[in-house]
């Protein structure tokens, strides 16, 4: 881990929006998790929250791209772009897949995705800064 | 969004066809399998391309897990009687795989070591799926149970 910890001084350019994404995503996961447990279908207003989450993810993307153009490249660019693509598609993908299910499992699908998104964002950060890439 | 009221209720004495693997809990199952399929495939491609020679066994095991997850995901989405059997077989392979690889990684940690750095190398089913919060250990049990509960029956 010695080389990785030296590299981890690379700054993550989107720390505030990362916090927003994480909190919002976990909030949606909590709401949809409770809805699924209560046997409730996915209400339309949850889709608006996922929309907000997606906007935050786009802001995160823009901040990374700006930093990249400004000269701070991610430590592992290819892996970073792969994670970025997946995290950007996760929101729309889950809405498409979950909203088509009328019962409690529509809420369940969105809940699963909103647990996974924060994990992806953590990995995104690690791949950018070079921390924790070693064991992968 | 309207809540469905069991559209496929069947009178007693008729053969009940297997429930769709794309509906209800199956839809959530597909979501989790798709996540693992993407994660494992991307991971193993990265490992094979950049550092295969450093730890061939764990990296090949990751690729095998990736193939299994992709097959199960496709089979659940296809949702025909034949694909249902494929999903069932895939989940059995997954369960055996995670148990064998998990045990192997505990009993013979030296197999899971990077030849260059000497550090431990994780694989998807390393320590029964530690990197994925042990989801790989629980998922096949839930999946097999779902397929068993929703299979076709003739009353």
Q: Count CB-CB contacts under 10 A for residue A9.
A: 9
Subunit contact B35:A135, Cβ cutoff 8 A: no
- pLDDT tens string B28-74: 999 999 999 999 999 899 989 988 888 889 999 999 999 999 999 99
Q: Count CB-CB contacts under 10 A for residue A4.
A: 16
Residue A45 has pLDDT above 50, yes or no: yes
pLDDT, chain A, mean: 89
Residue B91 pLDDT: 97
Q: Is A4 on the interface with B (CB under 8 A)?
A: no
User: A94 to chain B: which residues are within 8 Å by CB?
Assistant: 31
- For B121, the closest chain A residue by CA position comes to A135
Q: Is B3 on the interface with A (CB under 8 A)?
A: yes
Residue A4 has pLDDT above 70, yes or no: no
Helical ranges in A1-136 per DSSP H: 2-7, 15-37, 44-69, 77-99, 104-129
Q: How far is B117 from chain A (nearest CA, A)?
A: 10
Which helix or strand (DSSP H or E) is residue A127 part of?
Answer: helix A104-129
B93 close to B78: Cβ distance less than 8 angstroms:
no
Of the residues B25, B27, B47, B76, the best mutation for testing chain A's interface (the one with the most A CB atoms within 10 Å of its CB) is B27
As given in the structure block, the two tokens for residue A136 are 């992968």
Mean pLDDT of B2-12: 52
Q: Is B4 on the interface with A (CB under 8 A)?
A: yes
Sign of the dihedral defined by the CA atoms of residues A17, A23, A25, A31, in that order? negative
Residue B15 pLDDT: 75
Q: Count CB-CB contacts under 10 A for residue B85.
A: 12
The residue that leads in pLDDT, B20 or B14, is B20
Closest CA to B144 of B98, B102, B101, B106: B98
Q: How far is B31 from chain A (nearest CA, A)?
A: 6
Closest CA to A81 of A66, A64, A67: A64
**Model confidence, pTM:** 0.86
- pLDDT tens string B85-96: 999 999 999 999
- In the DSSP assignment, the letter for residue B126 is G
Phi, psi (deg, nearest 5) at residue B7: -70, -20
Residue A75 has pLDDT above 90, yes or no: no
- pLDDT tens string A101-129: 989 999 999 999 999 999 999 999 998 98
User: A43 to chain B: which residues are within 8 Å by CB?
Assistant: 1
A32 close to A108: Cβ distance less than 8 angstroms:
yes
Residue A57 has pLDDT above 70, yes or no: yes
Closest CA to A49 of A13, A87, A9, A20: A20
Residue B2 has pLDDT above 60, yes or no: no
- In the DSSP assignment, the letter for residue B120 is B
Which helix or strand (DSSP H or E) is residue B125 part of?
Answer: none
- For B43, the closest chain A residue by CA position comes to A136
Subunit contact A79:B46, Cβ cutoff 8 A: yes
Write out residues 111-130 of B within 8 Å (CB-CB) of A: 119-122
Residue B121 pLDDT: 84
Write out residues 41-70 of A within 8 Å (CB-CB) of B: 41-44
The residue that leads in pLDDT, B14 or A103, is A103
Residue B4 has pLDDT above 60, yes or no: no
Q: Which residues on adjacent β-strands are paired with residue B153? A: B16
- pLDDT tens string B103-145: 999 999 888 888 888 888 888 899 999 989 999 999 999 999 9
């Amino acid at each position: 881990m010695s080389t990785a910890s030296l590299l981890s001084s690379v700054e993550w350019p989107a720390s505030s929006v990362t916090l927003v994404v994480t909190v919002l995503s976990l909030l949606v996961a909590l709401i949809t998790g409770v809805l699924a447990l209560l046997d409730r279908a996915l209400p339309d207003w949850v889709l608006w929250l996922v929309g907000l989450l997606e906007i935050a993810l786009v802001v995160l993307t823009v901040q990374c791209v700006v930093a990249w153009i400004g000269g701070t490249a991610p430590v592992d660019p290819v892996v970073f772009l792969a994670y970025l693509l997946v995290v950007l598609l996760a929101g729309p993908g889950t809405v498409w897949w979950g909203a088509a299910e009328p019962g409690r499992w529509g809420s369940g699908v969105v809940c699963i995705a909103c647990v996974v998104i924060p994990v992806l964002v953590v990995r995104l950060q690690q791949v950018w800064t070079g921390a924790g890439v070693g064991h992968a | 969004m309207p809540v469905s009221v069991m559209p496929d209720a069947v009178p007693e004495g008729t053969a009940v066809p297997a429930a769709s693997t794309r509906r209800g809990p199956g839809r959530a199952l597909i979501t989790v399998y798709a996540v693992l399929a993407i994660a494992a495939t991307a991971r193993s491609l990265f490992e094979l391309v950049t550092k295969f020679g450093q730890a061939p066994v764990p990296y090949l095991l990751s690729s095998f897990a990736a193939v299994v997850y992709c097959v199960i995901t496709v089979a659940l989405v296809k949702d025909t009687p034949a694909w249902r059997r494929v999903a069932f077989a895939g989940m059995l392979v997954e369960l055996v795989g995670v148990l064998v690889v998990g045990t192997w990684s505990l009993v013979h940690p030296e197999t899971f070591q990077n030849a260059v750095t000497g550090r431990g190398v994780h694989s998807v089913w390393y320590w029964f799926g530690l990197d994925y919060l042990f989801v790989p250990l629980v998922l096949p049990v839930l999946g097999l149970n779902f397929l068993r509960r929703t299979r076709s029956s003739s009353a």
